Amino acid sequence: MAEEETTEEKEEGTGKKSNMLMIIIIAVLVLIIVIGAIVAVVLMGDDEEQAMSNNQPATQQVATPQKRRANTAPQDSRPLSEIGILYPLDSFTVNLKSDSGRRYLKTTLSLELSDEALSVELDAKSPVIRDRIIRILTSKTLEEISSKKGKQKVSDQIQDTLNSMISDGRIQGIYFTEFVIQ
């Protein structure tokens, strides 16, 4: 009988230890999940503030072209009936600037032209236009183009660059018809 009691006590002690071990394992797993969720929210939250804080000088460089365009309405606020002639460009697939070099952007653009005659000049300068756009896009990081403000800055930079190259009119807007980051 004494032997039965010690065997039962050992089984109860082992049972209590395994229950305690399961509780500890579950608590650790829950803690890991909570910490992972918090890290994900912090890293994915408010990309605009990160892009702004990382690019102080870039903000100063872009301020001048925006002042020049202050008299025109922003692209987003114009009704569709006021949008001019659109000149579609072929797709661009470029590597984004990064340490690992594993991010890429696939985008398609349409240019809003001030005059239909400008499309002839754009056809003639098509390789140069594609080169300039590719250079601009490859100089950007994921953080710079992932926010709405970042896309607007890229659009403004492309518009300013292309307008400095053309003589038969001007590009009034840049529209992204496809924008995929991987």
Whole-number Å distance between alpha carbons of 123 and 89:
10
pLDDT of 76 = 58
- With cut-offs at 50, 70 and 90, classify the pLDDT of residue 176: very high
Domains recognised in the chain with CATH numbers:
72-181 (3.30.479.30)
Lookup: tokens for 135: 């250079």
How many CB atoms neighbour CB 173 within 10 A?
A: 19
- 148-168: per-residue pLDDT in tens? 999 999 999 999 999 999 988
Checking if the pLDDT of 4 tops 60, the result is no
Checking if the pLDDT of 75 tops 60, the result is no
Lookup: tokens for 6: 């010690």
What 3-state class would DSSP assign to 69? coil
- 79-132: per-residue pLDDT in tens? 777 788 899 999 999 999 887 768 889 999 999 998 888 889 999 999 999 999
- With cut-offs at 50, 70 and 90, classify the pLDDT of residue 55: very low
104 or 16, higher pLDDT: 104
Lookup: tokens for 97: 């600037």
DSSP character at residue 167: S
DSSP character at residue 180: E
Radius of gyration of the chain (CA): 29
Lookup: tokens for 82: 């006021």
- Of all residues in the chain, what percent carry a pLDDT higher than 70? 71
pTM, full prediction: 0.57
Enumerate the β-bridge partners of residue 174. 111
Checking if the pLDDT of 51 tops 50, the result is no
The enclosing H or E element of 93 equals strand 92-95
